[in-house]
A = this chain, B = another copy of it.
Amino acid sequence: MLGIGVDIGGTKVRAGVVSQDGRVLERIQKPTPSSSPVAVEDVIVDCVADLRRRWTVAAVGVGAAGWVDTEQATVRFSPHLAWRNEPLRDRLVGRIDLPVIVDNDANAAAWAEYRFGAGRGSGVMVCITLGTGIGGALVIDGRVFRGQFGMAGEWGHMQVVPDGHWCACGNRGCWEQYASGNALVRDANALVSSGSPLAEALRAATRDYPLTGPDVTAVALQGDQTAAELIGDVGTWLGRGIANLAAALDPELFVVGGGVSEAGGLLLRPAIASFERSLTGRGYRPVARLALAHFRNDAGLIGAADLARHSISEPPGFLFWPRRRTPRGQRLRKFRDAFLAE
């Protein structure tokens, strides 16, 4: 059974046909119209119609950069798109004669990693997607944890610096103002503007100011010390935030993805160092692993497609819980099997 996944980013809409084992059989891409919710809807409908000319699919999943309710139906708010309490699922169902679900893009990406990527087999997994901001998601024993109202996982908006940088969410000192592509770009451009000779290589990196995140990463990967330090600063803040999440959630695994993670070890080494330095109770507890995400640009659409398939065909996640080899676990397995067989 195939599914279509659609990932609505701030600049691009990516859509693809995804197989049951997480492979992308075909992908298409269009620019995101920022004008109106209806225009975005049109693009989704076009992509789905286009792909369905060549593929027979069972369900459509849409991942959107916004806060989606627990019914996977309404986008309550999107900072980068024009949605405000938009009943996106119902609108799409009216135009696409297939089951549709809508989910947060970070939830979708995390689900792809859990099912087919870096998080396979994990018990408690925290995902951190470093893009423009920070996307977050928590998978517990085979279920995406959504909170009471569908807005859980917004780690990027936890305050880490009192009276710190202003954030698009209206607060100050949010984590994503220190550990994200935006943070990297802000600091790199400020350094270039300062006229410092340390910023030579960065200054030479582009003719089109301001610098972008990929510019800074490219200069760093070419060996420039200053650019590497800027990425290291982001990594240090990443590690501190990860230590905070370890205190709160005690996961087995952190999966770090998104554009900034392209910097690889330049980001992860300082992140691991500051995580280990900042972890509460260190020395007396198992330490969660940090891993880079397996999927890059496809994570959102793979996860959205798979969540959509799950919503129509798979048993609820908790049926995968009974894993311990206890009499109770055995008994639960029996019931799970009966449920699945029915």
Interface residues of A (CB under 8 A from B): 67, 76-77, 84-85, 123-124, 136, 140, 145-162, 169-171, 174, 240, 243-245, 247-252, 278, 280-282, 284-286, 288, 316, 318, 321, 328, 331-332, 335, 338-339, 342
Contacts and interface: CB of A to CB of B under 8 A. Distances in A.
A160 B342 CA distance: 51
Sorted nearest first, the 7 A-B pairs with minimum C-beta distance are A147-B250, A77-B284, A157-B280, A148-B252, A152-B250, A158-B244, A151-B250
B316 A150 contact: no
B316 A171 contact: no
Nearest to A174: B280
A44 B204 CA distance: 70
B252 A154 contact: no
A284 B250 contact: no
A278 B171 contact: yes
A155 B284 contact: no
A76 B339 contact: no
Contact of A67 (B174, B245, B285, B331): B285
Contacts of A288: 148
A171 B280 contact: yes
Contacts of A124: 147-148, 152
Number of chain copies forming the complex: 2
Most central of A149, A240, A338 by chain B CB within 10 Å: A149
A83 to B, nearest CB: 10
Given A148-B288, A157-B281, A174-B280, A248 B247 contact: no
B159 A162 contact: no
Contact of A154 (B84, B280, B286): B280
Contacts of A156: 247
A159 B275 CA distance: 12
A286 B150 CA distance: 10
Given A148-B123, A335-B335, A339-B335, A244 B285 contact: no
A263 B174 CA distance: 30
Given A169-B280, A318-B318, A248 B145 contact: no
B248 A158 contact: yes
B284 A248 contact: no
Contacts of A170: 280, 282
A217 to B, nearest CB: 25
Contacts of A278: 159, 171
B67 A251 contact: no
26 contacts: A67-B284, A76-B284, A77-B281, A85-B284, A123-B148, A124-B148, A140-B145, A146-B250, A147-B249, A149-B252, A151-B250, A151-B285, A152-B248, A154-B248, A154-B280, A154-B281, A157-B280, A159-B278, A161-B162, A162-B240, A169-B281, A170-B280, A245-B248, A331-B339, A335-B338, A335-B339
B67 A281 contact: yes
Contacts of A318: 318, 321
Given A159-B278, A174-B280, A285 B243 contact: no
Nearest to A77: B284
Nearest to A317: B318
A140 B124 CA distance: 14
